[in-house]
Amino acid sequence: MHNSLQQIEVFHLEFLRWFGSKTDPKHYALKGGVNMRFFFGSIRYSEDMDLDLSDIRVDVLQDIVLKILITQTFIDNLRPYGIQRVSIQDMAKAKQTETTQRFKIHLITFAGEDLFTKIEFSRR
């Protein structure tokens, strides 16, 4: 059994694995709490994942992210950790600008929990 913090972390790790396979790593860098925890062993927990990005257009990034989040294999990889499905906030309401792209995500668990997380890309 995994707790909600672990489930969000598994989602972040799996998303990074998929994102890394679809984009050139020279165009993005993980930052913030997720970076500190995954790569430097920090005890700090982060609910959201932040990345710096360059040379990927808004429409291209949106397409990559949405395709990952709706791919059945991606969702199937989360199931052993108690995540039943991934729900994406209405993209018409999501911030999608040249500076910032934000994806608000709900992870629905088999226990009926609704776990909220965000993935935010910055071009600064």
- Residues forming beta bridges with residue 121, ordered by sequence position: 51, 101
Measured distance CA(113)–CA(105) in Å, rounded = 13
Residues of the domain holding 32: 4-122
Residue 111: per-residue pLDDT? 96
| CATH code for the domain in which residue 96 is found | 3.10.450
Measured distance CA(82)–CA(9) in Å, rounded = 12
Helix (H, G, I), strand (E, B), or coil: what is residue 55?
coil
- Cβ atoms within 10 Å, residue 20: 12
Residue 74: per-residue pLDDT? 98
Confidence of residue 33 (pLDDT cuts 50, 70, 90): confident
Looking at every residue in the chain, the average pLDDT score rounds to 92
Assess whether pLDDT exceeds 80 at residue 35.
no
pLDDT digits (tens, 9 = 90+) for 70-114: 999 999 999 999 999 999 988 777 888 999 999 999 999 999 999
Assess whether pLDDT exceeds 90 at residue 8.
yes
Split into its structural domains, the chain has a count of 1
Helix (H), strand (E) at residue 117? strand 114-122
Residue 58: per-residue pLDDT? 94
